[in-house]
Structure 1
């Protein structure tokens, strides 16, 4: 077996990955795709990239598994704390003010590209702590990686993974055992983990807050715009969008308004 993908093989997989997910592979991250695909060949005991390509193209489940294997899943609890400070001090008070006008008491949140669940569990802990009655919340957590979703759904994290969680939240929301920390059922039931490819419409509507952090960087500009437009369609009037601190909608033709708070920058849908 050759050490590297040929240019033709690289282009072949790069195209199908882009067409199916919007994720872009370029010369700079070609080595990632190369190593992940070679791993798949070893797993499947196949002799050539062409064989694996035929398998992927003829089997929808294998396509999902392949897309899962080429994604990067870096995350941690309370990642980029200023976003959560803005959520508590700015977003939630404004969402509640708007809810008072309609009588709706449920705040709907989407954690898109949730990876292994640290982000939605962070949001859930914060809201369970600060949300005044009668308000409650529902979180949908989605990802293209089935493996990551299973970790999130299980709600179990080894000790090395719980770094950054305040002690009061660890005590309140986790059960410690000799292998690590298990999220308590009452917090787990506030989150629905769901497979979703951002290439497609999620079907969600009237969301109050969307988190999609450090995901857009894997898309080219047309794919980014499609994702952002779908977020707009899924969100309620006067709702809020968080993207990664290294990401920006600057220069993109979008209806979202840039919002600079005392804690962090985010985007707002007014109407």
Structure 2
């Protein structure tokens, strides 16, 4: 047992974080929560862990900061190439055929858990390359980390964050800046960044694709199912869901159809 975070303290912080976000801390990753709490306690100038617990109960902004600090914002451009190959060669052609037959010429996409924005920018660059001239698109990019959302909205990335961006894309969609690159307005115009907690309904509807990769792993089974059911509600009658390659909907009893392509696996809503 830690001298800093006693078992009863761990339980009440873990329960509060779960209730507010769906993020589940097991005993094996207790040390991560403890280190984040130590940092917040120091920055808040408080003397005890109980004082900090009372603070986040009454101060919504401090609660958001804590939730931000316990998430892992690991991402990069074109992360998991197979997913984007599936996107380019299977998902988009399939959706274009479906939507064209119904006179709909707009793709609506949500990057849920977008971290610092590399994922939605990757999606936007691919679509600028492959979409026919008579189609348009819009992307909503959201995360529980307000700090990450602001980085994404700014669209500036240091040199060491640019690994994986094809040279052609780099030349076409970025401007060289001191120490890094700035995403072009041509790409930024398609994306709206927003703070969102997946515990809540986003209010989005009739989406064609939801990307939520490597986020469900932070939730327990009940929270995972609740989030996936909300994704179902946000999607149009024929649409796609991307989750992380190590994540699965198996055993959840959802109505999503498992689709195996030549590149990667995705889930499809078909009603």
Q: Does the TM-score normalized on the shorter chain lie above 0.5?
A: yes
- Alpha-carbon displacement from aligned partner over 1:135-190 (angstroms, at most 9, x marks no partner): 11100000000000000000000000010000000000000012210001111111
1:222 aligns with 2:222: yes
Aligned partners of 2:94, 2:22: CA distance in 1, in Å?
Answer: 33
Aligned partners of 1:160, 1:179: CA distance in 2, in Å?
Answer: 9
Aligned partners of 1:214, 1:25: CA distance in 2, in Å?
Answer: 16
Residue equivalent to 1:167: 167
Q: 1:4, CA displacement in angstroms?
A: 3.4
Residue equivalent to 2:151: 151
Q: Normalising to structure 2: TM-score of the pair?
A: 0.98
Unaligned stretches of 5+ residues in structure 1? none
Matches within 5 A, 1:106-125: 106-125=106-125
Task: Say which SS state the counterpart of residue 237 (structure 2) adopts.
Answer: strand
- Alpha-carbon displacement from aligned partner over 1:13-54 (angstroms, at most 9, x marks no partner): 000000000000001111110000100011111111111111
Q: 1:261, CA displacement in angstroms?
A: 0.6
Aligned partners of 2:144, 2:268: CA distance in 1, in Å?
Answer: 25
Residue equivalent to 2:4: 4
Aligned partners of 2:63, 2:38: CA distance in 1, in Å?
Answer: 15
Aligned partners of 2:112, 2:182: CA distance in 1, in Å?
Answer: 23
Residue equivalent to 1:102: 102
Residue equivalent to 1:62: 62
Residues 167, 43 of structure 1: alpha-carbon distance in 2 compared, 3 angstrom cutoff? same
TM superposition outliers: structure 1 runs of 4+ over 4 Å:
none
Matches within 5 A, 1:1-271: 4-271=4-271
Q: 1:101, CA displacement in angstroms?
A: 2.1
Q: 1:77, CA displacement in angstroms?
A: 0.6
Aligned partners of 2:77, 2:66: CA distance in 1, in Å?
Answer: 27
Aligned partners of 2:29, 2:175: CA distance in 1, in Å?
Answer: 39
